[in-house]
Chains A and B, each alone.
Chain A
Amino acid sequence: MSTSVTTATEESGVTRTFEAFLEAHLEQEMLRFTTAGSVDDGKSTLIGRLLHDTKSVYEDQLAAVQKSRVNRAANGHVDFSLLTDGLKAEREQGITIDVAYRYFSTARRKFIIADTPGHEQYTRNMATGASTADVAIILIDAKAFAKAGGLLPQSRRHTYIASLLGIPHVVAAVNKMDIVDYSEASFTAIRREFEALCAQLGLEGVEMIPVSALEGDNVVTPSARMPWYSGPTLLEYLETVPLARAETAGPMRFPVQLVLRPDANFRGFAGQVARGTLRAGDRVMALPSRRESTVRRIVTYDGDLAAASYPQSVTVELADEIDLSRGEMLVEANSDAAALPDVSNRFRAMVVWMHEEPLVVGRTYIAKHTTRTVRATVRKIDYRVDVNSLEHGPSDAIAMNEIAEVEFETNLPLFFDSYKACRWTGSLILIDALSNATVGAAMIVAPIADTSTGETRRPALVLLPGRADLAERVQDALGSCGERAVVIDDALIPDSAVTAVVRALDLAGVIAISSRKLTAEALAAIESFAPRAVRVEDGTDDEAILNSLTEQR
């Protein structure tokens, strides 16, 4: 999009200062930050204070807060948490339940704030707000710290999640300094313990700021009551923290979102550059086909581009007609193996579980990774992390709000990087196939070498020779354990087409069921693209057949 401001001069009577403002605003960069910490640490109050002191709250909104029947702030202060706790239930219960997004800008930057809940029950909403953040502000309540004699478990959990999510910058705001008489000793005690936690988590460059959200100390205005502190205020920190994202550099990744084909002469691949830079004239390779071509044009509504970088949304036209569709990916051709994404259907990932029903080994979930949707089966839980001690322990189920390393196998290969190397191509969400709820967030650690010899893969075809009566029951049984399966005995599918139908269904992650009697040639043809994936069930004990089909699912 064009950001030229030369047209500003065509309006006579508009002052030069305004032009300068417009120019500055059009060129502003954007910073996303999130709050985190235990319940009642003062996150929402801090955000309200930040908005208020930067003059980002409209008069009528402030008046509504002042008028509100609810006020939990001490000493006759305005309850600033009401500026973000926008749901009725939140005001009634005095806690944040879901993320509130707020916006403000200063002369330097435009900020997107995600104010997240501290309550353990709503960890999933904290993760939602934190997943896109450039900066995490971890709040620590100085009073609660003194009372508990250390960091609260929820402060540790949130710091751990912030480190897992790879939020580039973490800053700790030690809050409620007013209650501890603005004492340096209280701050130092917290700093020691928090720094130890950061060292354990490998978090570097963590800044710590003593604040009072209620009174406004060190939020926007430097505090006169803490002369022992000489660092930046929270706002100064947010305005100056460097913003280079790892995704700007590094080997290019372009997941295809859509194929645009407005007429017979144009076929473009629409998507957002997930990392690096794509240039017209570049040699590129399509995954999974590994076919190569050249970028002919980078098309946008505002004209062709010579290059597009993360996170631009563009449409790519290639010089050759190669097979490429949604869910596939363009990467640089001719680069060495280390610069290519891993292509595999087995990987291990750190999982934050977000649903009442636990994650269990053997279950199959729907996984969305970049623009690709596949089915992912939990093969193993490597370990569960104790958020207090950060120690690893064994487990065969992961309950809500727990974090674990898990091994997955997908029905189709994914093209991925480790989450550490690239947020966009290293993350996925898990969806329950029956309820459609988003149940987990996963960050890829590494692929797993294929050691699947002898192991069972999801069948491509379940053959029940001559047992049309059993086919429907098998379909239901597979469906009830989360698989998609379909009977292909329809008269319109001739035996000669069965191989092609099974192939198409297998690519779509669907199991074919048939009571036909297939020739050895047909079975061999299916085995050629899906080794060990035809199950012939010709026993007489129906229950045994159903059990054997469902037990590994």
Chain B
Amino acid sequence: MTTLTATEPDINEIHAARLNHLQALEAESITILREAVAEFARPVMLYSIGKDSSVMLRLAQKAFYPGKIPFPLLHVDTSYKFPEMITFRDEYTREIGAKLLVHRNEEAIAAGASPYKLGTQNCCGLLKTRSLLDALEEGGFDAAFGGARRDEEKSRAKERVYSFRDAAGQWDPKNQRPELWSLYNSRLRKGESIRVFPLSNWTELDVWLYLYAEKIPIVPLYFAKTRPIVMRGGAMTLVHEGMQLFPGEKVEQIKVRMRSLGCLPCTGAMRSEADTLPKIIEELITFRRSERENRAIDHDEEGSMEVKKREGYF
């Protein structure tokens, strides 16, 4: 039985009882996940197979334990994903008993959409953004969880935890709903939706520390290994089956890892010796370059991520 004590609280005890920053972030993320499940009619989780998705998935397991994750996972497959990603996706989601939906813009894929033919902007527009908006509409989803973090990019740094999208799926960065305390506004009219970002306040380092502390499995491409590489557009591109080499391109064997996982043609590898999580973390803290640097899509032009996000990109 608890009764109120009239004595002053002991400051040292309070201090000792404080959560460390990962526990505090975890508690916040779980609250966000539960709140969205309580208030939205049909939530879905965007599952990109990357490290952030892996963290988000573990947080979802925690939020609804001992129950199962009460919403499906949606993977938007551009057909350019690394084969290791697809294998990992299918095995891991089966293992944890999650429901997986895969959506592809088959029409554009059949028409041969590629970054070489269309440029990265248009390719992403068709295979990611369009495909995602179609998938959300077909599924009738009113909320979609995404693993984006605010430390990734300067327009993401501006986004709310609950990011409102109009009926066309678009973000209006100049007119976002105020978001105070942890009181999230989930009210929508027909056709509108909300992107929910439970990892908003996590940094790249937090994600790696958490993967390590929680022993969460990730796609092997994150670990350094000697792999076949060609230099293309200034980036190290992984050579894969069926890839056409341009004249003058030469395949080299280099020890590399991927810092973030996107599509094969547009995600550059980086030289690294880090083949374990602690080594990756060690490498990260001595690093002076941001993780999205190796992705072609972000620097098409200044503010290109903001443009993509306005149009409905995650």
Contacts and interface: CB of A to CB of B under 8 A. Distances in A.
A436 interface: yes
Interface string B277-288: 011011001011
Give the interface residue-count category, chain A.
Answer: 35 or more
Interface in A265-281: 266, 268, 270-272, 279
Interface stretch (B128-136, B180-188, B225-233): B180-188
A387 interface: no
Contact of A270 (B34, B68, B158): B34
B4 A257 contact: no
A336 B4 contact: yes
B198 to A, nearest CB: 11
B151 to A, nearest CB: 5
B62 interface: yes
B52 interface: no
A455 interface: no
B278 A8 contact: yes
Contacts of B28: 311
Contacts of B26: 1, 313
Contact of A132 (B9, B63, B181, B214): B181
B91 to A, nearest CB: 21
A37 B7 CA distance: 38
A228 interface: no
A8 B276 CA distance: 11
Contacts of B201: 101, 103, 112
B72 interface: no
B18 interface: yes
B170 interface: no
B157 A84 contact: yes
Interface string A3-27: 1110110010010001001100111
Contacts of B203: 103, 105, 110
B17 to A, nearest CB: 6
Contacts of B205: 25, 105
Given A110-B21, A283-B1, A127 B180 contact: yes
Contacts of B215: 7
Contact of B18 (A124, A248, A271): A248
Nearest to A99: B158
A248 B8 CA distance: 12
B35 A261 contact: no
Contacts of B282: 14, 18, 21
B178 A124 contact: yes
Contacts of A302: 62
A58 B181 contact: no
Contact of B23 (A3, A250, A257, A333): A3
A1 B214 contact: yes
Interface in B33-73: 34-35, 37-38, 61-68
A439 to B, nearest CB: 9
B24 A339 contact: no
B243 interface: no
Given A244-B11, A248-B9, A436-B187, A258 B155 contact: no
Contacts of B279: 11, 14
A441 B178 contact: yes
A289 interface: no
Interface in A95-118: 97-103, 105, 110, 112
B21 A257 contact: no
Give the interface residue-count category, chain B.
Answer: 35 or more
A14 B276 CA distance: 10
Interface string B287-307: 111100100000000110010
B4 A25 contact: no
Interface in B209-223: 209, 212-215
A476 interface: no
Interface stretch (A59-67, A196-204, A214-222, A341-349): A59-67
B157 A86 contact: yes
A132 B185 CA distance: 16
A228 to B, nearest CB: 33
Contacts of A311: 19, 24, 27-28
Interface string B179-211: 111110101110000000000110101100100
A87 B174 contact: yes
Given A102-B157, A282-B2, A313-B34, A26 B20 contact: yes
A441 B181 CA distance: 10
Given A102-B151, A128-B178, A334 B3 contact: yes
B2 A1 contact: no
A87 B178 contact: no
A244 B15 contact: yes
Contacts of A354: 178
A437 interface: yes
B81 to A, nearest CB: 25
A103 B153 CA distance: 12
B154 interface: yes
B34 A1 contact: no
A312 to B, nearest CB: 5
B65 A315 contact: yes
B209 A26 contact: yes
A282 B35 CA distance: 26
B123 interface: no
Contact of A98 (B2, B22, B65, B176): B176
B177 interface: yes
A249 B154 CA distance: 37
Contacts of A43: none
A3 B213 contact: yes
A260 B66 contact: yes
B180 A1 contact: no
A131 B183 CA distance: 10
A59 B17 contact: no
Contacts of A437: 177
A42 to B, nearest CB: 19
B37 A60 contact: no
Contacts of A451: none
Given A98-B173, A251-B4, A366-B187, A438 B179 contact: yes
Given A27-B20, A371-B38, A100 B65 contact: no
B56 to A, nearest CB: 14
Q: Which of B15, B21, B22, B180 has the most CB of A within 10 A?
A: B180
Given A11-B279, A29-B18, A59-B289, A261 B173 contact: no
Given A60-B290, A86-B157, A313-B63, A249 B9 contact: yes
B154 A86 contact: yes
Given A3-B22, A83-B154, A313-B27, 6 more contacts: A18-B278, A58-B290, A89-B174, A272-B182, A335-B4, A368-B183
14 contacts: A2-B213, A59-B288, A86-B153, A100-B154, A102-B151, A244-B15, A272-B27, A279-B2, A301-B62, A311-B24, A333-B1, A424-B181, A431-B185, A436-B188
Interface of A: 1-5, 7-8, 11, 14, 18, 21-22, 25-30, 58-61, 64, 68, 83-84, 86-89, 91, 97-103, 105, 110, 112, 124-125, 127-128, 131-132, 242-245, 248-252, 257-258, 260-262, 266, 268, 270-272, 279, 282-283, 299-302, 309, 311-313, 315, 326, 332-336, 338-339, 354, 366, 368-369, 371, 423-424, 427-429, 431, 436-438, 441
